[in-house]
A = this chain, B = another copy of it.
Amino acid sequence: MSVRTPDPNPGWLSEEDLHEARRRLPMVYVEAVPVRLDALGYLTEIGMLYTADDDGRFYRTFVSGRVLYRETIRGALIRHIEKDLGSLALPQLPPSPVPFTVAEYFPSPSETGLVDDRQHAVSLAYVIPVSGECEPRQDALEVAWLTPEQALGADVGAELLGGRSRLLRQALAHMGWTD
């Protein structure tokens, strides 16, 4: 039995407890694929974060992060978009709460092809038009904007973390774009 002192902030989770919860419970995530649209709503560019892991390996990813206790999905989306793209990105959150897909990340071996070795994450994925200026967060090297053709290139796909090239293709297909 664990004996704990009363917790003044029950939504708070220590690093250790979070680490442990991640081995026991699926985590709720949101994921945002930033896009630039033209006046008719057609896709012109897709935004990706270009970053490096602890081993100095470069990779690409989308905006993503955990939903906190008592946080709404929309609140989590805005918080992670601001963290990753800066406060001048002017994201347009969609009127509907329905994601374009639900991405299921598992520690490998993953039966979905999406991998996150820290945890089992159920990620609600949204396409988010942004019309402002994006500046990368501290630990990201760059916010890169790619045309759909560039984004579908084999080199980009290989750099996308955790099988997110699948997510990219689903986002593009959702927008009516396929190669």
Contacts and interface: CB of A to CB of B under 8 A. Distances in A.
Given A23-B10, A24-B13, A26-B69, A40 B75 contact: yes
A106 interface: yes
A145 to B, nearest CB: 15
Secondary structure call for the A interface? loop
A52 B28 CA distance: 30
Nearest to A11: B24
A20 B112 CA distance: 29
A122 interface: yes
A24, A99, A124, A129 — most chain B CB neighbours (10 Å): A24
A41 B70 CA distance: 18
Contacts of A73: 102, 104, 122
Nearest to A43: B95
A27 interface: yes
Contact of A67 (B68, B92, B122, B170): B122
Interface string A90-102: 0011111111111
Interface of A: 1-2, 10-13, 16-17, 21, 23-28, 35, 37, 39-43, 67-75, 78, 92-102, 104, 106-107, 111-112, 120, 122, 124, 127, 129, 165-166, 169-170, 172-176, 178-179
